[in-house]
Structure 1
Amino acid sequence: MRYLFAEYVLDTDRRELHRGTDVVSVTPQVFDLLDYLIRNRERVVTKDELINAVWNGRVVSDAALTTRLNAARSAIGDTGEKQRLIKTLPRKGFRFVGAVREAQRLTTVPLAHAGQNDDAAYRSPSPPRLSIVVLPFANLSNAPEQDYFVDGVTGSLTTDLSRINGSFVIGQHTALTYKGKSVDVRQIGRELNVRYALEGSVQRCNNRLRVNVQLIDAKTGNHLWADRFDKPFADLLDMQDEIVARIARTLDNQLIVAEARRAARTLNPDAMDLYFQGRHSCNRGVTLEYFAEARNFFGRALAIDPQNVDAMSWTALVETVLVAAFLTDHGPPYLAAAETLVLKALRLAPDHAWAHFTLAMVLIYTNRAAQGVAECERALALDRNLADAHEMMGQAKFYMGCGADTEFHVDEALRLSPRDISTFRWMNTAGFAKLQIAADAEAAAWFARGIEANRNYPLLHFGYAAALALLGRLDEAQAAAKTGLALDPTFTIRRFKNVPVRGGGANFFAGARRMVKGLHIAGVPEG
């Protein structure tokens, strides 16, 4: 059996660890430790289990175990600090968390014929979900000195995509072997056993840099998504970070769409199929209908796999957004359920960025905004492309009565992902923050931008109505309120006032009174 992960192959038949074409030297005990962790990657392995498997139950000191673990991490390019592949769960044990692909040797191919092409001696299973190779981008600038920038984009994208939970991303060293070669993407998909390939090109035109990207189905060769990023030429490293962040963020959503479509065609969906469908439902819109659909998918996923951290985190998010988007009159029970779920998820996966972000939401909506900001910072430390965390810090500032600081955080989210599916919500946050500080014209402008991005989000129309009413534009305010009520006939001022967040100090309450006044003037029912 061979286990393929990151840039490595663990060959249990030959007892060899490979990185690309190189053999990595490891001691027998380190090899056995890696083998045991990888074979049991679906669960947490206790210290006693490891000792029994590797040392046959002999008495071994904690220091000896730590030394072997450190050696194993070092052999596969991991560290005790990063824990990218091997996680230590305090007081519980250890777990291999890297995406692993298995390949079995065919008995019909003699070992004598195995060599550089011994991949032919293995039968690979179906490509893993979210499996992708970032092929080397083409430099179309006729400027060889920019090759380092083009390769940098490829390498950074490989790293950033590997942060997507559950993804399997082919290492850059392997991807670079295709540089400059004209190879059919479908052949690459078969050779690497991946579902998707990302191609791209970089071209400098006068003082602008243009980056084209295409996401391709590696089985059919069909283009699933394409986009172009066009920016004024500036500092290359800054541009690389921004371009990579935007592509990675967009790709996260595009891959969810692709996986959800595959899952919808599956006769017997498993937990991850159902999770992807739930994610897709959430992305379709912030409505009771879509969120009920998402909750159903996540619930079915958890019925199959009660420890599915992704489904837990997103269920908690659904419960929280029902309150945050004023879709319910009974906020506290939803928030309590969300907190219980997300804390359970974090006990199972302490470094799950989205779970930390969801916990931040729960904390902010239960009057613990400062702790919520800390959780947002933790989420961003784990995933620098998590634009939602920037916007959530803006919400925290709003609820702390510091609405003047909110716009900065919303702008950061928009800088990272200007065409994000969530921009309408971020603009809504900026609009209400402007209302809090009596910048009503700016508030109206933010709400108008949000409505342009998504006309089906009721809260934007109610915020717009309040801003227009406070500006004295009564006819427009009443029209905006009617549009909001057509989208959500259950919305009332009472629901708006009863949101469980009580905020910080006089500024928050003064701003809330202004918003309620605007809603009254615009004709929103009291309830």
Structure 2
Amino acid sequence: MASERPNRRLTTILAADAVGYSRLVGADEEGTLERLRAIRKDLIDPVIAAHRGRIVKTTGDGLLAEFASVVDAVRSAVDTQRAMTESNAGLAPDRRIEFRIGINLGDVVVEDDGDLMGDGVNVAARLEGIAEPGGICLSSAAYDQVRGKIDIAARDLGQQQLKNIADLVQVYALSPAHPAAAVPHTTVAPRLSIVVLPFINLDGNSEQDYFVDGVTESLTTDLSRIPGAFVIARNTAFTFKSKPVDVRVIGRELGVRYVMEGSVQGGGDRIRVNAQLIDTETGAHLWAERFDKPRADIFDMQDEITTRLARTVGIELVAAEGRRAERERPNNMDAVDLAMRGWAILNQPLSLRRDRAACDLFDAALRLDNHNVEALVGLAFYHGNDLRTFASTNRDEQLRIAQMAITEALTLAPGNALAHFVHANLLHVSGATERSLRELEFAITLDRNLAWAHADAGFLKVLLGRAEEAEADLTNAMRLSPRDPGLDRWHALLGIADLFLGRLGSALDRLRKSVEINPNVAMPYFFLAAASALSGRAAEAREARNAGLRLDPNFTVARFRNERRSENPTFLNQREIVYEGLSLAGVPEGN
């Protein structure tokens, strides 16, 4: 019997290792480990994410990462080494933490857990071993891909015999501290790059400083969870505290495209928060929000404030990047540009016609880079939405495309919470309801602020015959993201749960709210038609039915009955009331 072929792919491998780790630990074990953890969290992880890399694994003193692009890998390495030079400034030589980095383009074996194996990895590790402290070594396979595309001086080290590597390897060394003389160095700020400046305490009350600083720190942490975001560490951001700032200067100094600033003011039993998102290139205010909140537990207040802001700012950043790409390079967009434009569409209230344009953008992105995680997740999300809203006219094909895309996305980014959310969606439409709920719960462990996952967890409890539990999850989603583009759907889901439980008055209120917020989705109209008919509101039922059929002329009671998504007996029994209501409203029966 033939053994199964291993899963292989061509990828860029980056290996990094701390110089003199044993010596540093021997001299100051706790201090060294604490600094390494801080460097990973505040510097290395955000840089790798900003350049669309994936950390494969870490060791006590090093890490292995992969990139779809060699240019991205080298830029990540250069940014890391330059940032480490700044971090070590002023420290005695024996206390500095320096890294060696090796980069190789090679064929690797992909293990089931996402680990990478093979000579492609081994060469990168051996290149790291011969790099100078603070330096970078590239194989010729990698260097050929970046020649002329980076402004760093490269030295040809000739052919090297690397340990345990059979063939000689042509090696090139980069010194990030020395730009190439012929090419002026101009830093291009990464996409989705932002610094959260310390919020201002307008009360001037020193006792409130810790709360205001806590908002800044928590917001910095939450924004860093956005896939692809490059967020300046809080230690750097706090050097601007209580100083007059020019956001354009900050943008140039820190290499970021956006600044977030704000203020907190107390008054009696309330707290008022103001926040603004500013483009550092133009100084233009892209978004602003102000909200009041009753005073409560300090940590509860911080959590609610930062969660609301992080979700909204994440949406605004993606939209701003989409507009920037259309403005600056309308005829020369790369895969990241196209994927961001797609997500800018999906981050608006659901519209199946408009979302088709997002699907086209994701397809175009994947033709340029079939490893773009955001495009893969977006493509699966689009097809899953079509299936979930009963709008699909080619169910099997859309499910196949979505499953292939999300499987690849999770292979490339197993820790991506949004990818697990989309996977849960596909399990849901496939009828694997309990598995879907477990996948949502896992997504929430990865990102506790993922409001979409909380909302869908509530709806899945309806499918599992636990409709009375749905409201807690859905209202939590609304608390986390009170202006979410999915708000119309969440009101609809609350109305559906009420309908299942026979609470017709509450169901009507919530379903009306749903179609008021977003009149472009068919299913809430059909549920509203059913609830209205069951309540004896024949005219409202006809109006809702007709609105639904204008949006989805192929909808029938039979089609809805055949896609029931769960075999739970309580759910099936409760669903009968919907069939009855749809029939009373005059929705076509179908067959």
TM-score normalised by L of structure 2: 0.73
The answer to whether the aligner puts 1:361 opposite 2:425 as a matched pair is: yes
Report the equivalent of 2:261.
199
Determine if contact 1:16/1:23 at 8 Å carries over to the other structure.
Answer: no
Report the equivalent of 2:303.
241
Report the equivalent of 1:509.
572
Report the equivalent of 1:334.
398
Select which of 409, 414, 420 maps to 1:345.
409
The code of the aligned residue for 1:507 comes to T
The answer to whether the aligner puts 1:19 opposite 2:87 as a matched pair is: yes
Q: Deviations over 1:413-450 (max 9, x none)?
A: 01111111111111111111211121211211211222
Report the equivalent of 2:549.
485
| Inter-CA distance 382–20: structure 2 relative to 1 (3 Å threshold) | farther
Shift of 1:474: 1.3
Q: Distance in 1 between matches of 2:184 and 2:263?
A: 34
Report the equivalent of 1:63.
none
| Inter-CA distance 126–16: structure 2 relative to 1 (3 Å threshold) | closer
Q: Distance in 1 between matches of 2:98 and 2:120?
A: 15
The answer to whether the aligner puts 1:392 opposite 2:456 as a matched pair is: yes
Q: What SS does structure 2 have at the residue aligned with 1:491?
A: coil
Q: Deviations over 1:267-308 (max 9, x none)?
A: 200000000111122234433322221111001111111111
The code of the aligned residue for 1:516 comes to Y
Q: Distance in 1 between matches of 2:312 and 2:90?
A: 35
Shift of 1:488: 3.1
Determine if contact 2:179/2:185 at 8 Å carries over to the other structure.
Answer: yes
Seq. identity, %: 42
Q: Distance in 1 between matches of 2:199 and 2:95?
A: 38
| Inter-CA distance 42–163: structure 2 relative to 1 (3 Å threshold) | farther
Report the equivalent of 2:316.
254
Q: What SS does structure 2 have at the residue aligned with 1:183?
A: coil
Q: Distance in 2 between matches of 1:407 and 1:432?
A: 11
Report the equivalent of 2:558.
494
1:418-429 alignment runs, 5 A limit: 418-429=482-493
Select which of 137, 146, 150 maps to 2:199.
137
Report the equivalent of 1:36.
102
| Inter-CA distance 518–299: structure 2 relative to 1 (3 Å threshold) | same
Q: CA RMSD in A?
A: 3.1
Shift of 1:477: 1.5
Q: Which runs of 5+ in 1 are unaligned?
A: 59-101, 110-120
Q: Distance in 1 between matches of 2:202 and 2:561?
A: 57
Shift of 1:342: 0.9
Shift of 1:40: 7.2
1:336-485 alignment runs, 5 A limit: 336-485=400-549
Shift of 1:468: 1.2
| Inter-CA distance 16–355: structure 2 relative to 1 (3 Å threshold) | closer
Q: What SS does structure 2 have at the residue aligned with 1:180?
A: coil
Determine if contact 2:102/2:126 at 8 Å carries over to the other structure.
Answer: no
Q: What SS does structure 2 have at the residue aligned with 1:175?
A: helix
Determine if contact 2:402/2:426 at 8 Å carries over to the other structure.
Answer: yes
Q: Distance in 2 between matches of 1:14 and 1:355?
A: 32
Shift of 1:493: 2.1
Report the equivalent of 2:587.
524
Q: What SS does structure 1 have at the residue aligned with 2:264?
A: strand
TM-score normalised by L of structure 1: 0.82
The code of the aligned residue for 1:298 comes to F
Q: Distance in 2 between matches of 1:399 and 1:24?
A: 62
Q: Deviations over 1:454-486 (max 9, x none)?
A: 222222222111111111111121122222223
Determine if contact 1:124/1:193 at 8 Å carries over to the other structure.
Answer: no
Greater alpha carbon shift after TM alignment, 390-399 vs 159-168: 390-399
Select which of 285, 293, 296 maps to 2:360.
296
Q: Distance in 1 between matches of 2:380 and 2:584?
A: 35
Q: Distance in 2 between matches of 1:347 and 1:45?
A: 11
Q: What SS does structure 2 have at the residue aligned with 1:212?
A: strand
Q: What SS does structure 2 have at the residue aligned with 1:19?
A: helix
Shift of 1:337: 2.6
Select which of 208, 222, 239 maps to 1:160.
222
Q: Distance in 2 between matches of 1:153 and 1:304?
A: 39
The code of the aligned residue for 2:397 comes to P
Q: Distance in 1 between matches of 2:92 and 2:526?
A: 61
Determine if contact 2:492/2:514 at 8 Å carries over to the other structure.
Answer: yes
Q: Distance in 2 between matches of 1:432 and 1:193?
A: 48
Select which of 250, 268, 278 maps to 1:216.
278
Determine if contact 1:395/1:429 at 8 Å carries over to the other structure.
Answer: yes
Report the equivalent of 1:71.
none
Select which of 155, 177, 181 maps to 2:243.
181
Shift of 1:226: 0.4
1:302-317 alignment runs, 5 A limit: 302-317=366-381
Q: Distance in 1 between matches of 2:265 and 2:378?
A: 39
Shift of 1:401: 2.0
Determine if contact 1:270/1:304 at 8 Å carries over to the other structure.
Answer: yes
Shift of 1:13: 8.5
Q: Distance in 2 between matches of 1:41 and 1:235?
A: 53
Shift of 1:164: 0.3
Greater alpha carbon shift after TM alignment, 165-174 vs 477-486: 477-486
Determine if contact 2:198/2:238 at 8 Å carries over to the other structure.
Answer: yes
Report the equivalent of 1:72.
none
Q: Distance in 2 between matches of 1:147 and 1:50?
A: 48
Q: Distance in 1 between matches of 2:416 and 2:390?
A: 27
The code of the aligned residue for 2:370 comes to P
The code of the aligned residue for 2:256 comes to V
Select which of 215, 231, 237 maps to 1:169.
231
| Inter-CA distance 204–40: structure 2 relative to 1 (3 Å threshold) | farther
Shift of 1:132: 0.5
The code of the aligned residue for 1:508 comes to F
Q: Distance in 2 between matches of 1:103 and 1:191?
A: 17
Greater alpha carbon shift after TM alignment, 327-336 vs 434-443: 327-336
